[in-house]
Copies of this chain bind each other. A is one copy, B any other.
Amino acid sequence: MARIKTEKNTTRKDVIVSKAAILFREKGFKAASMRDLAESVGVEAASLYNHIKSKTELLHELCFSVANRFLQKLDEIESEQIPAIQKIEKILRFHIVEMVNNYEEVYVSDREWKHLNDPYLSNFQNQRRIYRKRLAAIIETGIKNKEIKPIDAPTAVLILLHAISGIESWHRSKQKITAAALEENMVTILVGGLTI
């Protein structure tokens, strides 16, 4: 099957996936229908199936592309020779920037993954668990090195990750501060909260 590309190198399927992200974020995976999606793409519902296999496929493409991006960045940051607290700050900033710039996808990946089917579901949950353990390990190192307060590392991870998802509210708010200011405020509070 030849993929028709525009000058921006975007296939028809890419358009469908990104419209799906917008819709899934707005209504939730279950409440968003393929007819809604077809309308937002500008075709009949049946035509979507020339580009995708199923509704669930859309969800798992979204979830795993986001997960892979975060895992790759974590690989990169882990291997740097810098203090643990600086690693945490870098990861935090990456999450914030991703949430600001790729709001729909990141949000869907974070909130709608429950609706994945096995084997994708267990796979995704595993990746998630591992990701969090690696973050916790960095924090543990920071605690050992007296850079970070002696707190429960998994609890700290859960606070960091969920606090970031609060950017959702920022996205929707009327009087927004700039993305840069948002980032600095979040880092101030969260890194400040961890640092000794």
Q: Which residues of A line the B interface, CB within 8 A?
A: 27-28, 30-31, 111, 114-115, 149, 151-152, 154-156, 158-159, 161-167, 169-170, 173, 177, 181-182, 185-186, 188-194
Contacts and interface: CB of A to CB of B under 8 A. Distances in A.
A193 B189 CA distance: 4
A77 to B, nearest CB: 21
B149 A158 contact: no
- Secondary structure at the A interface, as helix, strand, loop or mixed, is helix
A15 B191 CA distance: 43
B31 A185 contact: no
B188 A151 contact: yes
Given A154-B177, A156-B189, A162-B164, 15 more contacts: A28-B30, A30-B31, A149-B189, A151-B188, A152-B182, A155-B177, A155-B189, A158-B167, A159-B163, A159-B186, A159-B190, A162-B162, A189-B194, A192-B192, A193-B194
B177 A169 contact: no
A5 B149 CA distance: 51
Contact of A155 (B155, B156, B161, B185): B185
Nearest to A164: B162
A185 B151 contact: yes
Contacts of A152: 177, 181-182, 185
A85 to B, nearest CB: 13
Contacts of A159: 163, 166, 186, 189-190
A173 B163 CA distance: 18
